[in-house]
Structure 1
Amino acid sequence: MRILLLDLDSLNPDHMSCYGYHRNTTPNIDRIAAEGVRFENYYTSDAPCAPSRAALMSGRFGIHNGIVGHGGTAADMRREGITRGFRDTLAQESLPAFLRLAGLKTVLFSPFAERHSQWTFYAGFSEIHNTGKCGMESAEEVTPHVLDWIEHHARNDNWFLYVNFWDPHTPYRAPESFGNPFRNDPLPAWITEEVLERHKRKVGPHSARDINMYNNQTNPLYPRHPGEILDMEGLRKMIDGYDCGIRFMDDNIGQLFAALEQQGVMDDLVVIVTADHGENQGQLGIYGEHGTADKGTCRIPMIIRWPGVTRPHVDTGLHYHLDLGPTLAEMLGQPACPSWDGQSYASVLTKGEDCGREYLVLSQCAHVCQRSVRFGDWLYIRTYHDGYHLFPDEMLYNLKEDPHEQHDVAADHLQVRKDAVYYLQQWHDEMMKTMPFDTDPLWTVMKEGGPFHAKGQLKAYCEWLEQSERGHAVETLKRKHPLEFV
């Protein structure tokens, strides 16, 4: 048994050609999608980077493992305390530890643990390669190390190889020498000039005028990454920069596939293509960030090719990324770990059956504090701290009619909101009943001053809003966040 997992940071399925994107961004990944199962409604339970990978690797929701943010108490995994044995739970029940106990050598290529000081991310790996730049490396700095490993080890049996690429993550960094294969391709049709004008008036980090989070500054090291979007040409720079990052990464993935073919192991290799989170490219009027609990941020790709098992198929059921562990356990004939929160979707792979969940609850506490409910055609977003976006407490989007989250219809659908709140409360009750802790870490974030990426920024941001002709929002921000001005 050989398994390759590609963790492609910040990859939005809407920008992948195998998911229907009009640009040819992922030809090598498309080959895998054509031979396996492509999941249409696959979501990270907890966003962004650190909470997502903590949930995937521990198999537990952030409310259980404790990691829901990027700083403060909620950026560290909860201690087991008095129940901890000689070895902790992660030593046997993290995803890689489980695979190692199942007989696979577990190998990692990623700088992620160092980037976020998430040292628990390493639990269960037999061999660890830190690619060295804390997530600022581009694919050409990762690929040679992985190719070397493939050359020397790929023919061995029983391994799990986890490879992390970063190119779709901000700032967009495809080398200048790569050029722009999309220069003559049309932009996404839904972002019209009228839509862009509306986005330019929006306030909040990574709005069209604030690509650098709280201002429009740029970095000469990253010429593909703009500071603001003022017109359709600026929009092109933004979208092309992101798409070039995806295509450059895909080209490097193609090199890995070619090397595996040369070693004679590609035909029977299980390939899993996924991401930690997506990337908003206009959803909620936000560009180049993954800072909300919405579809743009939380929906991720999942493609699984399992030779001899999967057939080309698109699954539309609702699944969490932390469902991967129980699925692999069933596929390997092993029991799922007791601490895991996920549920197996192995029948999707083996029989093409629909076994999706009734609803999903999505959390974001690093840039905003939000919990969302994804069910039916709907996305309900409940905001506890708006991260200076001026979001209302409740938002509702019909994703069938409005897949890019441009029209909040909360005022028109009271019963749908009530249904969503019921699901949210049902989930929360279940989470609190199934852990020994009495604190929801979302409220830990709130009590410690709010989401990490929104702390101490408001005064300077209000000055920038005045300069960028959006001073009308300053009084509202002061009213909503008075403690920032004490």
Structure 2
Amino acid sequence: MRIIYIDVDTLRADHTTPYGYHRPTTPHLQKLADKSVTFDRYYCSDSPCLPSRTALTSGQFGIANGVIGHFGPAAQFRLDAGHGPEPDRPLLGQRLGWGGYYTAAVSVFAERHRAYFFHANFRESIRATDRMGDEEAHDVNHAAIDWLRRHADQDDWYLHLTYWDPHTNYTQPAEWTDRMAACGPVQAWPDEDTIAAHAEIYGPRSALDLHYSAFGAGTSPVPHNMPDAIRSRADFEHLINGYDGAVAYWDHHLGLLLAALEELGIAEDTAVIVSADHGESFGEMGSYAEHGLANEPTHRLPLVFYWPGLTDTLPEPARHNDALLYNIDLAPTLCDLLGMSAPAGWHGTSFADAVRGEPIESREYLVLGHGAHTYQRSVRTRDHLYIRTYHPGCFRAEWEQLFHVTQDPYLTSDLIAREPELAAQMRSHLAEWWNQYAGRPGALPDPMQATLHTGPTYYNDPVSYAAHLRDTGRAHLAEDLEARLATLDIPVSWHAPDRPRTADLLHRWVQLLQTRDQQPVTSDGADRPKP
């Protein structure tokens, strides 16, 4: 079997056609979905990018594999010393390799996040460009289709492709944004009153600080595709048009990739799996164009799963499955479908029966964790979402929240005070899960608890951000942030005085990339000069 796993950074499920989006953003993904199983309740166990992909390829929750964030000890993958992979918990690519599969990737993810263990999944790793992420889809396709042409006459390979287009900043040609703006209205929520109220929600990628980052305030680097801030419905529509344009631009290149499979004569015997590392908030809880919370829009993922000989013969009712699933379930599922045993150290459960069109049992609940912009864990049942904040970072995050997601998909009504029994039950689920993975003899320390004194302050320094709030006439919000951090009884700033701030180094690196790569692209990227 040939397998292509397509990993689309920041692809929000409900902005795609298979998940009922009202705009035609993904016709090529829909064509694939017509012969696939689409999973409606598929979630990343850990977010954002580094924790999610580590969980996916390790088959383990971040609380066990060590990666719950993007910085320092919170981002250190736990590998025992010795020669070769651990037999009870190999990476997905290692397990496939033991089964005779040639594994390859076109992805800059390992370099972007210094996640060099990710390379251990693959015999061959290809960087499409010298950019550290945010590669355009045409560059990824160029490398991917070249690889496919060289391996089309071979069998038993697994190819992982990472696309970045829906991740901010939206760098697609403006025509794609205009196309989405012309094809249908933007969703009605948030309305003007909600957007006005969001001025009191502070934090990077909040309404008034849409482009605030580790090196200070900024304006939109892509004015046609993103506004400077969200002050009105017009700004929100501008933002959504840019995001949808990025999704449509990626989908266009998905179509070219699928056409290449047809041209090579291997489309009918190549499995194609499309998913994401995380989603994106667009106003939920006051967060815009960011994946910084353990909430529904960040953790819910698309999963379109085509497996030749199985999914293409299923009746329509079997093409959708709504069991509560994790992305760590993918690794044992692939092993199951390929007739391989799943290692004992993986935490996921195979959903291969659903790929075969058979019913599967759903979990009672999922536990989801975030550790890059806030430290949060949440519990997702079929209808409800409970969120517990351990460290707010620089974001106005409440310590506990409870939502009825089925009735309140935009997370506007907090039930934590009105539903004490339900809140207690959700806390119990979280405690049960924590005790299973970190509260038993032999378990390694929970990296979220072990790094709580530092917290998720890699991207944004609370001292600098509080000063920014005061400089922009929001002293009351600076005081609120400082008061929340004071309750933790930890230093407000993590930056050591005797070394350059990571933010300053990052700023220099971004400036270098921006000055080097200012060439426009055409709709297919064919005329883009190479650096």
Q: CA deviation at 1:117?
A: 0.4
Q: Select 1:149's aligned residue among 147, 150, 154.
A: 147
Q: CA deviation at 1:308?
A: 1.7
- The residue aligned with 1:192 is 191
Equivalences for residues 390-401 of structure 1 within 5 A: 390-401=396-407
Structure 1 runs, 4 residues or longer, greater than 6 Å off: none
Is residue 2:482 matched to residue 1:478?
Answer: yes
Alignment partners' CA distance in 1, 2:158 and 2:68: 27
Equivalences for residues 115-154 of structure 1 within 5 A: 115-131=112-128, 132-154=130-152
Q: CA deviation at 1:469?
A: 4.3
Residues 5 and 163 in structure 1, CA contact (< 8 A), matched pair in contact too:
yes
Residues 10 and 278 in structure 1, CA contact (< 8 A), matched pair in contact too:
yes
- The one-character-per-residue Cα deviations of 1:461-485 (angstroms, maximum 9, x if unpaired) are 2233234443322222222224327
Any idea what SS the aligned residue of 1:182 has? helix
Q: CA deviation at 1:191?
A: 1.9
Alignment partners' CA distance in 2, 1:109 and 1:434: 39
Alignment partners' CA distance in 1, 2:133 and 2:217: 22
Alignment partners' CA distance in 2, 1:410 and 1:92: 38
Alignment partners' CA distance in 1, 2:222 and 2:354: 44
Judged with a 3 Å threshold, the aligned counterparts in structure 2 of structure 1 residues 345 and 416 are, in CA distance, closer, same or farther, namely same
Q: CA deviation at 1:227?
A: 2.7
Alignment partners' CA distance in 1, 2:87 and 2:393: 32
Any idea what SS the aligned residue of 1:317 has? coil
- The residue aligned with 1:102 is 99
Q: CA deviation at 1:225?
A: 2.8
Amino acid at match of 2:69: G
Deviates more, 1:95-104 or 1:170-179: 170-179
Deviates more, 1:214-223 or 1:412-421: 214-223
Is residue 2:246 matched to residue 1:245?
Answer: yes
Q: CA deviation at 1:7?
A: 0.2
- The residue aligned with 2:37 is 37
Residues 332 and 349 in structure 2, CA contact (< 8 A), matched pair in contact too:
yes
Residues 345 and 355 in structure 1, CA contact (< 8 A), matched pair in contact too:
no
Alignment partners' CA distance in 2, 1:290 and 1:453: 15
- The residue aligned with 1:462 is 466
- The residue aligned with 2:262 is 261
Q: CA deviation at 1:63?
A: 0.7
- The residue aligned with 1:226 is 227
- The residue aligned with 1:25 is 25
Q: CA deviation at 1:179?
A: 5.1
Q: Select 2:368's aligned residue among 362, 373, 388.
A: 362
Judged with a 3 Å threshold, the aligned counterparts in structure 2 of structure 1 residues 398 and 213 are, in CA distance, closer, same or farther, namely farther
Equivalences for residues 401-480 of structure 1 within 5 A: 401-432=407-438, 436-447=442-453, 449-453=454-458, 457-480=461-484
Is residue 2:174 matched to residue 1:158?
Answer: no
Residues 397 and 409 in structure 1, CA contact (< 8 A), matched pair in contact too:
yes
Q: CA deviation at 1:216?
A: 4.9
Alignment partners' CA distance in 1, 2:41 and 2:132: 30
- The one-character-per-residue Cα deviations of 1:188-209 (angstroms, maximum 9, x if unpaired) are 1222222222223321221111
Q: CA deviation at 1:45?
A: 0.5
Residues 70 and 452 in structure 1, CA contact (< 8 A), matched pair in contact too:
no
Judged with a 3 Å threshold, the aligned counterparts in structure 2 of structure 1 residues 435 and 149 are, in CA distance, closer, same or farther, namely farther
Deviates more, 1:345-354 or 1:116-125: 345-354
Residues 101 and 158 in structure 2, CA contact (< 8 A), matched pair in contact too:
yes
What TM-score results when the alignment is normalised by the length of structure 2? 0.87
Q: CA deviation at 1:3?
A: 0.8
Amino acid at match of 1:72: G
- The one-character-per-residue Cα deviations of 1:316-359 (angstroms, maximum 9, x if unpaired) are 11000000111111111111112111011111111330322111
Structure 1 gap ranges (5+): none
- The residue aligned with 2:331 is 325
Deviates more, 1:132-141 or 1:62-71: 132-141
Any idea what SS the aligned residue of 1:304 has? strand
- The residue aligned with 1:270 is 271
Alignment partners' CA distance in 1, 2:219 and 2:141: 28
Deviates more, 1:236-245 or 1:89-98: 89-98
What TM-score results when the alignment is normalised by the length of structure 1? 0.94
Judged with a 3 Å threshold, the aligned counterparts in structure 2 of structure 1 residues 266 and 282 are, in CA distance, closer, same or farther, namely same
Q: CA deviation at 1:159?
A: 1.2
- The residue aligned with 2:171 is 173
RMSD: 2.0
Alignment partners' CA distance in 1, 2:303 and 2:338: 19
Judged with a 3 Å threshold, the aligned counterparts in structure 2 of structure 1 residues 222 and 78 are, in CA distance, closer, same or farther, namely farther
Any idea what SS the aligned residue of 1:446 has? coil
- The residue aligned with 1:112 is 109
Judged with a 3 Å threshold, the aligned counterparts in structure 2 of structure 1 residues 92 and 296 are, in CA distance, closer, same or farther, namely closer
